[in-house]
Amino acid sequence: MSQTTKPWVIGNWKMNLDRRAAEILAREIADDPSCRAKIKVGLAPPFPYLDRVAEILGHGPVALLGQDLHPEARGAYTGSVSGPMLRDMGVTHVLVGHSERRRLHGEDDNMIRRKISAAVEAGLTPVVCVGEDLAQRESQQAMTTITTQLEAALTADGWPGQGETLVAYEPVWAIGTGRVAGREQIIEIHTGIRRLLPGHARILYGGSVSPDTAGPLAREKEIDGLLVGS
């Protein structure tokens, strides 16, 4: 990781924890001095707990993220959450294109592009997730797949801008499997992603990151942070 900028560590809580557990975890992280000294921390709690977690975090250094957003700002979209709603709750960043959204909800590159535009329009910083599945990895199509995903993302309105640009590489075959991409695989992909983005872009790794793997990953200069799923 870069020695001149703080690395990101983003915790994606997914659809886990109850309200009390979310409060306890948020408070523990908010009170941890390392969140201010060594790293930039972000939390992505489930939507129902955003308001309470935002209250606990206050105006401190820990960023609050949405796990997703709808591409429209308002309308008859039952069960959806818009960018302006997230912003109104104190959210500053939002995950877009997470592999579980792509796989379970059929979100394609065009939908991801629209969501990136919606995030930027709402004043949120999108954390754009890209990655290949096992078949694409085994057929030597990993970087081709990711390039296609990023080229679509780069057509989004206002992204990337001059401000913070965050991309998370998450090999789909490693999500929730306990498998971690090899060092050479990660460096190859991160280097390829960096060629497609402006110089100030930060590239995170997410793929079964655990206490055992976080340390070695954090020492890689091509990795600017970690996206950790619960």
Which parts of 1-55 are beta strand (E)? 8-12, 40-44
* pTM of the full structure: 0.94
Residue 142 maps to a domain: yes
> Domain total for the chain?
1
CATH number of 14's domain? 3.20.20.70
Residue span of the structural domain in which 154 resides = 8-30+40-52+73-164+172-178+188-229
Q: To 10 degrees, the CA torsion angle through 183, 185, 191, 197?
A: -120
Catalytic residue annotation: 98, 170
In a domain, 3, yes or no: no
> 3-state DSSP call for residue 202?
strand
Judge whether 47 lies within some domain.
yes
* DSSP at 221: T
User: What pLDDT does residue 179 have?
Assistant: 73
Burial of 29 (0-12, 13-18, 19+ CB in 10 A): buried
Task: Encode the chain (230 residues) as per-residue pLDDT tens digits.
Answer: 555 688 999 999 999 999 999 999 999 999 988 767 789 999 999 999 999 999 999 999 999 999 999 999 999 999 999 999 999 999 999 999 999 999 999 999 999 999 999 999 999 999 999 999 989 999 999 999 999 999 999 999 999 988 899 999 999 988 777 777 788 899 999 999 999 999 999 999 998 788 888 888 888 989 999 999 87
Residue 60 maps to a domain? no
Give domain status of residue 35, yes or no.
Answer: no
Burial class (CB in 10 A: 0-12, 13-18, 19+), 36: middle
In a domain, 194, yes or no: yes
The pLDDT assigned to 2 comes to: 52
Is 58 within a domain?
no
Place of tokens 């890689």: 220
- Whether the CB-CB separation of 83 and 73 falls below 8 Å is answered with yes
Position of tokens 């606990």?
56
- Which one-letter amino acid corresponds to residue 3? Q
Residues 130 and 97 sit within 8 Å (Cβ to Cβ): yes
Between helix 142-153 and helix 109-121 the angle, nearest 10°, is: 40
Tell the residue number behind the tokens 């975090």, with chain if given: 57
The pair of structure tokens assigned to 12 is 């994606």
Contact 183, 220 (CB under 8 A): yes
Give me the amino acid identity at 112: I
Which residues, 6 or more positions from 27, have their beta carbon under 8 angstroms from its beta carbon? 56
d(CA 162, CA 97): 21
The residue with tokens 């960018």 is: 83
Q: Looking at the domain assignment, is residue 104 inside a domain?
A: yes
